[in-house]
């Protein structure tokens, strides 16, 4: 028991020291960015042509990949772009060009709401770093495809098409909290084209999300089903959370990040207030662990033995590092301290892979979809993306 206590105190002191010492955390970030590059160079050797990484199952040494039309396809090139931005390595640049070529056909994909993830995390970053007319055309076409899923009666973008597995019928329109993350593509399109249609769709969707996706305590429903002919709410449920009334951790993260972006793009204070309220729910929740890596659901029935979700933690850290730039000094300090604690935790052996392991992914211990028993306690491509983004944001701030 004494040895366990000593080990626990050592971990606690390490996290506390990193969170209070920016130089120490910066050094750890530098080392982790180099580790990430090594991991992704290794992953590249395992990735079949035309495929994109999803996850890795260590017990079977199974590296799971997808086609370009899977919602996670943009995270691999996006992570490579972030890494090349800070490390400038020819091997990364070559891989970026290769996988972007295979992804660009998805600009015309009208069957998914996830074009923001797929195309803005990839081509949006590519255009930010090296503006090209080709990238802009791809992004505009992607925004046009996403806009076709908007329903002006509901004032929202359709997430999933109606199907029995998501409990929706033929006249139903499903919106999931994740969809807030795809609005950034529409805001970009509005600026680039000077066409306010894209802006209007984005803010209508954000407003409808505030109205029907959030409870009074600013926890969110994962899924809202509307009658697409009347706009009425038919159900507020979950597909990935512990229960319909629970607070699924990554859903909270998506909502936080999405409203930070919406405030950035509109400067409308109601979106800043929404982001702050979601942040307060997350950071003050009695089930948030001291190391700030949340359980996969804040209301999971087996806390404290429930699995943590490193991907949710990475998204929260990245969102807080932007949100802190828009708030007063007290909140700025609170959000900065929380993001430092999250990063200090994630950049330990508990969550970081060793070189040439974990299928090439950087982060361990993500939870994809617990109720449907997929990607449980595994690496996730979006966990890596938002961790790398958060580390770069921390260094830049």
Catalytic, 114? Answer yes
Long-range CB contacts (within 8 A, 24+) of 302-306 = none
The single residue of 172, 178, 291, 299 carrying the catalytic annotation is 178
Residue 191 is assigned to a ligand binding site: no
Instruction: Give the separation between CA 19 and CA 24, rounded to whole angstroms.
Output: 9
Cis peptide leading into 304, omega within 30 of 0? yes
Contact between 77 and 37 under an 8 Å Cβ cutoff? The reply is: no
Residue 374 is assigned to a ligand binding site: no
Instruction: Give the separation between CA 340 and CA 391, rounded to whole angstroms.
Output: 10
The single residue of 114, 291, 297, 384 carrying the catalytic annotation is 114
Residue 349 is assigned to a ligand binding site: no
Output phi, psi for 368, to 5 deg.
Answer: -80, -70
Residue 254 is assigned to a ligand binding site: yes
* Beta carbons within 8 Å of 231's beta carbon, 6+ residues apart: 153, 154, 155
Instruction: Give the separation between CA 140 and CA 123, rounded to whole angstroms.
Output: 11
Instruction: Give the separation between CA 360 and CA 388, rounded to whole angstroms.
Output: 14
How many CA atoms does the CB half-sphere of 170 hold within 13 Å? 0
Instruction: Give the separation between CA 354 and CA 73, rounded to whole angstroms.
Output: 24
Residue 70 is assigned to a ligand binding site: no
Question: Binding site membership for substrate: which residues?
Answer: 114, 178, 238, 250, 254
Question: Binding site membership: which residues?
Answer: 114, 178, 238, 250, 254
Give the residue numbers annotated as catalytic, written as ranges.
114, 178
């Amino acid at each position: 028991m004494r040895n366990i206590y000593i080990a626990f105190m050592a971990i606690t002191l390490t996290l506390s020291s990193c969170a209070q010492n920016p130089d120490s955390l910066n050094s750890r970030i530098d080392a982790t960015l180099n580790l990430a590059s090594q991991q992704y160079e290794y992953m590249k050797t395992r990735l079949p042509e035309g495929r994109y990484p999803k996850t890795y199952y260590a017990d079977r040494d199974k590296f799971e990949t997808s086609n370009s039309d899977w919602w996670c396809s943009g995270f691999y090139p996006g992570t490579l772009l972030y890494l090349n931005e800070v490390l400038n390595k020819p091997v990364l640049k070559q891989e970026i060009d290769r996988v972007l070529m295979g992804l660009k056909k998805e600009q015309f994909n009208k069957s998914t709401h996830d074009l923001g993830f797929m195309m803005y995390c990839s081509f949006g970053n590519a255009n930010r770093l090296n503006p090209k007319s080709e990238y802009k055309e791809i992004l505009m076409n992607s925004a046009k495809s996403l806009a076709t899923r908007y329903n002006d009666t509901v004032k929202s973008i359709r997430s999933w098409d109606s199907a029995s597995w998501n409990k929706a019928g033929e006249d139903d329109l499903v919106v999931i909290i994740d969809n807030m993350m795809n609005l950034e593509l529409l805001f970009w399109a509005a600026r680039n084209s000077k066409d306010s249609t894209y802006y209007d769709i984005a803010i209508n969707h954000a407003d409808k999300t505030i109205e029907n996706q959030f409870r009074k305590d600013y926890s969110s429903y994962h899924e809202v089903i509307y009658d697409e002919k009347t706009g009425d709410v038919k159900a507020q449920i979950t597909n990935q959370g512990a229960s319909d009334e629970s607070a699924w951790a990554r859903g909270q993260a998506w909502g936080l990040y999405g409203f930070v972006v919406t405030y950035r793009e509109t400067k409308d204070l109601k979106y800043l207030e929404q982001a702050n309220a979601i942040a307060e729910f997350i950071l003050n929740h009695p089930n948030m662990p001291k190391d700030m890596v949340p359980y996969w659901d804040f209301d999971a029935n087996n806390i404290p033995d429930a699995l943590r979700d490193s991907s949710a933690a990475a998204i929260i850290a990245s969102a807080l590092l932007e949100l802190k730039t828009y708030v007063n000094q007290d909140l700025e300090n609170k959000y900065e301290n929380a993001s430092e604690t999250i990063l200090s935790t994630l950049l330990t052996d508990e969550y970081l892979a060793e070189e040439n392991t974990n299928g090439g992914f950087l982060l361990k211990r993500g939870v994809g979809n617990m109720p449907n028993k997929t990607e449980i306690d595994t690496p996730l491509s979006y966990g890596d993306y938002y961790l790398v983004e958060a580390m770069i944001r921390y260094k830049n701030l």
